Chains A and B, each alone.
Chain A
Amino acid sequence: MSEPREPLPIWFFVGVILLVYGGLVILGDATNLREIRLSHLHPGLWWGGGMVVFGALFTALGLWTHRQG
């Protein structure tokens, strides 16, 4: 089996990391026991949600550019 000529683009790795971390941030907010200011805003939910969306976009962009060669 031959090795691929070009590595996967960095955007793919950034996307996967944001996707996974976004999910964990949402989970953290949903199960949070820490006493924090502005907790009623649930910053982890919407911020983590944004990370998941951006992560998915970057992952797709990375895969797409890799397939384009």
Chain B
Amino acid sequence: MGTTQRLVELGVLDWAIVALYFVAIIGIGLYLKAFTKTGDDFFLAGRRNSSWVAGLAFLSANLGALEILGWTGGTMKYGMFVSHFYWVGAIPAMLFLGLYMMPFYYSSKIHSVPGYLKLRFDERTRLLNAFAFAIMTLLMSGINLYLMALVFNVLLGWDWHVSMWVSAAAIGCYITLGGLLSAIFTEIVQFFLIWAGLFLVSILGLVEIGGPAHLMDQLPATMTSLWATTGDPSQNAMGVTWLGLAMGLGFVLSFGYWTTDFLVVQRAFSSKDLRSARLTPITASFFKMALPFIVVVAGLVAYKLGMDPASGFHLPEDPQNPGKVWNDAALPLLIARYYPTGLVGLGITALLAGFMAGQAGNVSAFNTVWTYDIYRVIFRPKASDAHLLWVGRVTTVVGILLSVATAYVAMQFNTIMDYIQAIFSWVNAPLFATMLLGMFWKRTTSAGAFWGLLAGMLVSFAIFLGFRFGWISGDLARWLTFAENPSDMSRNLWQASWAWVVCFLVTIGISLVTPPKPDSELVGLVKGLTPAVDDGKVAWWGRPAFWAALSLAVLVALNVWFW
């Protein structure tokens, strides 16, 4: 399992920087324990955060090292198309969450997204989503741990078992001590470390190549455009049309993830008031739009260097796919190319922090959903706050151990990775249809929501298995994806889209023939029965709508600029 190949060498100073990170995060956890006395403190960080703190944590919970490494490598394959995942594939959904959905979430004082499903629909819908989310989160956490060990083993020669157990122990330690507040603090530290440790790679890459204009001039047009080649899927490396991007990524996957995934939404719940909660995803949207300046620029620099045999830039073999080039190593190789001692340690610490913060996000979301939406519902409906706090701490330790176990399973069975890549489509895409109808159509019934959600999840699962085992091919594949030879990416986008459509239609159909809840039970949960948010007393520059409009204007400008 091990390998002796090392792509980056660390000096004493670099090791000191890595070690200091562990000291800092565990120290923060110990410090915050004194402020974690109630369930709200542990699971919702005491609902005391400003929109800046919650916003950066909201973004950072999604900003894992896997994403950074993967999309830098992905840029070498797909070019600037990767920016779609940061721009159209994120910003509209984040703004929609802040402007229209957050009032229903935050005002109902729930602890989790499944908690909203209980209030709006019923217990079975809550449990269906809670179990699906808990399983997804644990799997993601374990896979994240496994991939972290893999990356550091290949890059630095670190031992697999030491990497996994040391990072898992550190995360378990500071989450058990300080709960969500610890997770949020370390996520914000991670945000700054990623900018401090990785943005310089892009700057130095552009300096070596001769500037941004020179870089863009030397790359093929398919690498440097966002929409110009989406009229014909055969003309872009991602193999998708503008419709697939707009519907699959820009609507279903994006809205499904950013508006319903408790991992990120939990950060907004920790805000001190409704206006801060609404501003949380809107604040995060500006920083999300800036990330391609690390990820995509570094990927384009790596692609350009790779085109020139004299550059001395050579990607290694993929440890999971022997014989293929490992694009995900592009960013660490650029670190080794440009960074002196000290900065190398900082760059590696930024990646390590990215892995660990992502892991902590999964664990803190898992312990909340398990404690409030599964344990309390099934085992102890009348549990005291102190008991739930104790359960949350124990669940953190158990969740960490299950993550490590999942990581060992993934180490033995690499094919599990293929299933994980599609899991978001099973859970989040249909859930977005349920939430949309639940919040904006008061006629939606509990039966409609449950059976619609179940049908959407099953359809997503069936399409995934169909493609994986070849049951779906030929005309059916063409009909499902609108492409002759759909890429994996295209299949994922359309799989999510069909899951959303089925959930949406089944929910409406069943709702029309089953009795709805009385209006009195839906106050605060559904549009039309909830008092509108009045920002009239807030200065124009403090209103969520103003910042959302500004964010949208920046998004449009970026898409036009790089059309």
A residues sitting closer than 8 Å to B (CB atoms) are: 3, 6-10, 13-14, 17-18, 20-21, 24-29, 31-34, 36-39, 41-44, 47-48, 51
Chain A: CB-nearest residue to B340: A32
**B13/A28 in contact, CB under 8 A:** yes
B35 within 8 A of A: yes
| CB atoms of B342 and A27 under 8 A apart | yes
Interface residue? B341 (CB, 8 A): yes
Question: Shortest beta-carbon distance, A8 to chain B, in Å?
Answer: 8
- Which residues of B are found within 8 Å of A27, using beta-carbon distances? 13, 342
Q: A18-B196, A36-B337 are in contact. Are A13 and B13 (CB under 8 A)?
A: no
The answer to whether B189 touches A13, judged by C-beta atoms less than 8 angstroms apart, is yes
**CB-based A-B contact count at 8 angstroms:** 105
Complex partner residue of B338 from A10, A14, A43, CB under 8 angstroms: A43
B465 sits at the interface (CB 8 A): no
Does B34 sit within 8 A of A, measured CB to CB?
yes
Q: Could you jot down 11 A-B contacts, CB within 8 Å?
A: A7-B32, A7-B35, A8-B31, A10-B189, A21-B17, A24-B13, A24-B16, A24-B342, A25-B342, A27-B13, A43-B339
| Interfacial chain B residues near A44, Cβ < 8 Å | 339-343
Given that A18-B196, A24-B13, A38-B207 are known contacts, is A13 also in contact with B340, CB under 8 Å in the complex? Answer: no
Q: Report chain A residues within 8 Å CB of B14.
A: 28
Closest chain-A Cβ to B63's Cβ sits at a distance in Å of 15
Contacts of B345 in A (CB 8 A): 24, 28
Give B331 Cβ to nearest chain A Cβ, in Å.
15
The binding surface of chain B is classed by DSSP as helix
* Chain A residues near B35 (CB-CB < 8 A): 6-7
Cβ of B7 within 8 Å of any chain A Cβ, yes or no, is no
Known interface pairs A7-B32, A13-B185, A14-B189. Does A38 touch B17 (Cβ–Cβ under 8 Å)? no
Q: Please name all residues of chain B whose beta carbon is closer than 8 Å to the beta carbon of A29 when the two chains form the complex.
A: 340-343
Specify which chain B residues have a CB less than 8 angstroms from the CB of A32 in the assembled complex.
Answer: 340-342
- B156 to nearest A CB, angstroms? 15
- Tell whether, in the assembled complex, residue A39 and residue B340 are in contact, meaning their CB atoms are under 8 Å apart: yes
Known contacts A10-B185, A36-B339; 19 additional CB pairs below 8 A are A6-B35, A8-B31, A10-B189, A13-B24, A13-B185, A13-B189, A17-B192, A17-B193, A18-B192, A21-B17, A24-B345, A25-B343, A27-B13, A28-B340, A28-B342, A31-B13, A39-B340, A44-B341, A48-B342
Among the listed B48, B200, B340, B346, which residue makes an inter-chain contact with A34, where contact means beta carbons less than 8 Å apart?
B340
Is B240 close to A, CB under 8 A? no
Q: Does B181 contact A (CB under 8 A)?
A: yes
Compute how far the CA of A7 lies from the CA of B24 in the bound complex, rounded to whole angstroms. Answer: 16
Give, as a whole number of angstroms, the nearest-CB distance from B232 to chain A. 39
For residue A14, which residues in chain B have a CB less than 8 angstroms away from its CB? 188-189, 192
Q: Which residues of B contact A48 (CB under 8 A)?
A: 342-343
Q: Give Cα distance in the complex from A34 to B338, angstroms.
A: 10
CA distance A55 to B24 in the complex (A): 15
Decide if B181 touches A7 in the complex (CB within 8 Å): yes
- Flag if A17 contacts B341 (CB, 8 Å): no
Per-residue contact bits, chain B 162-205, to A (CB 8 Å; 1 contact, 0 not): 00000000000000000001001100110011001000100010
- Are A43 and B204 closer than 8 Å at their CB atoms? yes
Which residues of B are found within 8 Å of A17, using beta-carbon distances? 24, 189, 192-193
Selected contact of A38 from candidates B34, B184, B204, B346, CB within 8 Å? B204
User: Which residue, A10, A34, A43, has most C-beta atoms of chain B within 10 A?
Assistant: A10
In the bound complex, what is the Cα–Cα distance between A13 and B185 (angstroms)? 8
Asked if B342 and A43 sit within 8 Å, CB to CB, the answer is no
Shortest Cβ distance from residue A7 to the other chain B in the assembled complex, whole angstroms: 5
Choose among B20, B185, B196, B343 the residue that contacts A28 (Cβ–Cβ < 8 A).
B343
Q: Is B344 in contact with chain A by the CB < 8 A criterion?
A: yes
**B57: nearest chain-A partner, CB-CB:** A10
Write out the residue numbers on chain B whose beta carbons fall within 8 Å of the beta carbon of A31: 13, 341
Task: State whether A21 and B346 are in contact (beta carbons under 8 Å apart), knowing that A13-B24, A37-B337, A43-B204 are contacts in the complex.
Answer: yes
* B501 contacts the other chain (CB 8 A): no
Cα distance A27–B342 in the bound complex, in angstroms: 7
Q: Which residues of B contact A26 (CB under 8 A)?
A: 342
Please indicate the chain A residues that have their CB under 8 angstroms from the CB of B20 in the complex: 20-21
| Bound: A25/B16 CA distance, A | 11
Residues of A within 8 A of B31 (CB): 7-8
* Cα distance A27–B48 in the bound complex, in angstroms: 38
Query: Using a CB-CB cutoff of 8 Å, which residues 407-457 of chain B contact chain A?
Result: none
**Residue with the highest number of chain A CB atoms closer than 10 Å, among B13, B181, B192, B337:** B192
Q: Which residue of B lies closest to A50 (CB)?
A: B196
Complex interface: chain A residues within 8 A of B196 (CB): 18, 21, 47, 51
Q: Does B219 count as interface, using CB distance less than 8 angstroms? A: no
Q: Do B189 and A34 have beta carbons less than 8 Å apart?
A: no
| Contact assessment for B24 and A24 in the assembled complex, using a CB-CB cutoff below 8 Å | no
- Find out whether the CB atom of B340 lies under 8 angstroms from the CB atom of A3: no
Interface contact B346-A3, CB-CB below 8 Å: no
Which residue of the partner chain, among A9, A10, A43, contacts B340 with CB atoms under 8 Å?
Answer: A43
CB-CB under 8 A from A24, the residues of chain B are 13, 16-17, 342, 345-346
CB distance from A38 to the nearest CB of B (A): 6
* Chain A: CB-nearest residue to B201: A43
Task: Report B-chain residues with C-beta under 8 Å of the C-beta of A9.
Answer: 53
